[in-house]
Amino acid sequence: MSEKQLLNVSDGSQLGVVEIAPEVIEVIAGIAATEVNGVASMRGNFASGVVERLGKKNHGKGVKVELREDGILIDIYVIMDFGISIPDTAQKIQDNTRQALKNMTALEISEINIHVVGIQMEVKEEEVTEE
């Protein structure tokens, strides 16, 4: 049975070891990405869609974390709002994600790749007439 991979972020103190699971990085990156204006939603899979319909929010949806020898690689899959600048918004997602992870975990990320997988068109709300 393989052991889950954890990131050791200890500073060498005598108090003990601090380890962070990759799932924690996924959640932080997911929340940071959705905070950026222009991000309509994150791409999920069928299972995460079912879980959200049952009332549980999946904050790590649309984020993939890969631990490599040369550092941490993060892939973020987003659906953006129609009419925004995709390059500017992608840069803001990268900046916000990097800053959130640095503040919360003190980890340096080697790559944050943004994958725009869709555009959310404006949904016009139909007027409901009462009779």
What is the extent of the structural domain holding 60?
Answer: 7-120
Burial 2-37 (b: 16+ CB within 10 A, else e): eeeeebeeeeeeeeeeeebebebbbbbbbbbbbebe
Torsion of CA 100, 106, 108, 113, to 10 degrees: -20
Instruction: Indicate the number of domains in the chain.
Output: 1
Taking only the tens place, the pLDDT of each residue in 33-65 is 999 999 998 886 444 444 445 555 556 688 999
Q: What is the CATH number of the domain that holds 20?
A: 3.30.70.1350
Q: Does the residue 127 lie in any domain?
A: no
Q: Does the residue 32 lie in any domain?
A: yes
Q: Does the residue 61 lie in any domain?
A: yes
- pTM for the complete prediction? 0.76
Q: Does the residue 60 lie in any domain?
A: yes
Q: Does the residue 23 lie in any domain?
A: yes
Q: Does the residue 90 lie in any domain?
A: yes
pLDDT < 70 positions in the chain: 1-4, 10, 12-13, 44-60, 123-131
